[in-house]
Structure 1
Amino acid sequence: MIPINRRLKKVSEYVTGERLADIGSDHAFLPMYCLEQGYITSAIAGEVIPGPYSAAVKSVARHGYKNQIDIRLGNGLTILNPEEDTIDTVTICGMGGPLIAKILNEGFKHIPHRPRLILQSNIQSEPIRRFLQANGYHIVTETLIKERAHIYEIIVADAGTMSLSEQDFKFGPFLHPKPSELFVEKWMREIEALADIKKQLDPVQHQKRYDEITRQENEIKEVLNR
């Protein structure tokens, strides 16, 4: 059995098609698990740092998947060859939303066939949603999962169009209309973090920043109190 955490196991449920590209693969546990479960027939696993790349190579060899998983060293989606690599699903997990959006922006031309995107952010998912809308993708589902006290967002998107509101961009079109317990917990934590920042600010000396934090607090409370 491939050792996989709850977060990546949840991500695997949305993988579709024959071939997966997992960017920032971290020991290649996700593609190995997907192969083990019969979700896919082959995968590409990308790592940008030599250490994790070597760890992934050893991990894949140890579990007997080196003929099915092609491990590549390189930056984000640029490891993919747009002419030769036919990818059905791309996963980018375990990073902040701004970094995931940056990876998509810098390497988008490497996935011209518009595969499914499964994007699991640790923080700040808004830039991901803005990228998807601007680049011909629509969100098909979103979910939250809690692991080791941290709450993660998973966004699943296919090629298509959408028109999100400002609340949708910030809170998630599938998440905020009917707030779950995890959703409430996540955003209550954010309110607490903003309140801690405000305590360190002088309302007069730092008026602009103070007012911006107050605006953010009110925005969150509006969604939670509907």
Structure 2
Amino acid sequence: MNSNVSLSNRLKIVAGYLPQGACFADIGSDHAYLPAYVCQKDPEAKAIAGEVNQGPFDSAKKTVQFHQLEEQIEVRLGDGLTVLREGEADQIVIAGMGGALITSILETQASIAESVDRIIAQPNVDAREVRRWFDQHGFTLIAEEIMAEQGHIYEVLVADRQINVFSPYNDNDQIKEKQFLLGPYLVNEKNDAFIKKWTWEKAKLERIISQMQQAKQVNYERMSEFQTELNWMKEELYYEGTNDETC
């Protein structure tokens, strides 16, 4: 076998949530580094690498051939989950896209998405939309991580299709919406990446609200929604025992 596959830290986190002997699909696989990395380490793993564009599809095939993993990885050309048949994979990975695009991919082929045991998503933005999709389609969020890498902050969300599994969400609708935004597990941990992300988001939202207040026609309903989100951020960023609003 050729040299070991190198993988970014964020994708190593994603790979860590795949079980031994995984049978998974990596949607938007690009160079197929993630399937190659997993299958190199686990000879029992099987993967389908899906890619919608010809260039990345060709690159993925080259990666699989270079590492002599043709028996474990099949590269397919197609849009989203159309590369899969129902029941063909036990896990789905969708990494490196916006949350809106991830949810669109899942929703477009919902019957296929809902047939797998686990979905691992790594949205670059709008993780809230992915959490909400999971909750509305019978998937329980079982883990999530937030980390910084090369100047960017990434979130990894892991959801299982199970019945009678503990839900991390509060029964109160407003608290649940706050958890969709910030992450029910992440908000409890509050690591450095979490603080950095929401400090930045807080400052951005404050600028947006200020600009809306100065507009000739004020959208009070939308501004109220933003103010609620801003208050949520402040609640979690303030340290206990301080009223410092600059943190």
Q: Identity over aligned residues, as a percent?
A: 37
Q: Does 1:28 align with 2:32?
A: yes
Equivalent position amino acid for 1:205 in 2: K
Aligned to 1:70, the other structure's residue is in SS state strand
Corresponding residue pairs, total = 224
Matching residue's letter, 2:150: R
Whether 2:93 is the aligned partner of 1:91: answer yes
1:157 aligns with 2:159: yes
> What is the identity, as a one-letter code, of the residue corresponding to 1:113?
S
Deviates more, 1:192-201 or 1:62-71: 192-201
Deviations 1:45-84 (A, max 9, x none): 000111111111112111211222111111111110115x
Q: Which runs of 5+ in 2 are unaligned?
A: 170-175, 241-247
Q: Distance in 2 between matches of 1:113 and 1:102?
A: 17
Whichever of the two has the greater Rg, that structure is: 2
* Other structure's SS at 1:66 match: coil
Q: Distance in 2 between matches of 1:152 and 1:218?
A: 23
Distance across 2 between alignment mates of 1:121 and 1:182: 15
Correspondent of 2:50 among 46, 64, 68: 46
Q: After TM superposition, give the deviation of residue 129 of structure 1 in Å.
A: 0.9
Is 1:4 the counterpart of 2:14? The answer is: no
Q: Secondary structure at the match of 2:109?
A: helix
How far has the Cα of 1:37 moved from its partner?
1.3
Cα distance 1:39–1:222, how it changes in 2: closer, same or farther (>3 A)? farther
Hey, what's the Cα distance between the residues in 1 that align with 2:45 and 2:196? Answer: 38
Match of 1:14 among 13, 17, 25: 17
TM-score (norm: length of structure 2): 0.83
Q: Which runs of 4+ in 1 moved over 3 A?
A: 195-202, 209-215
Deviation at 1:117, TM superposition (A): 0.7
User: What's the CA shift string for 1:65-105, capped at 9, x where partnerless?
Assistant: 1222111111111110115x2x1221100011111111111
In structure 2, what is the Cα distance between the partners aligned to 1:200 and 1:120?
31
The answer to whether the Cα contact below 8 Å between 1:23 and 1:76 also exists between their aligned partners in 2 is yes
Structure 1: how far apart are the matches of 2:130 and 2:13?
19
Q: Which runs of 5+ in 1 are unaligned?
A: none
**What amino acid is the match of 1:61?**
Q
Pick aligned residue for 1:116 from 98, 118, 122: 118
Task: Map residues 122-161 of structure 1 onto 2, 5 A cutoff.
Answer: 122-160=124-162
Question: Do the aligned residues in 1 keep the contact of 2:25 with 2:93 (CA within 8 Å)?
Answer: yes
Instruction: Provide the TM-score with structure 1 as the length reference.
Output: 0.90
- Determine if the alignment matches structure 1 residue 194 to structure 2 residue 205: yes
Root mean square deviation of aligned Cα: 2.0
Distance 1:102 1:30 in 2: 22
Cα distance change on mapping 1:45 and 1:154 into 2, 3 Å? same
TM-superposed CA distance for 1:10, in Å, is 1.1
Of the candidates 64, 80, 99, which is equivalent to residue 84 of structure 2?
A: 80
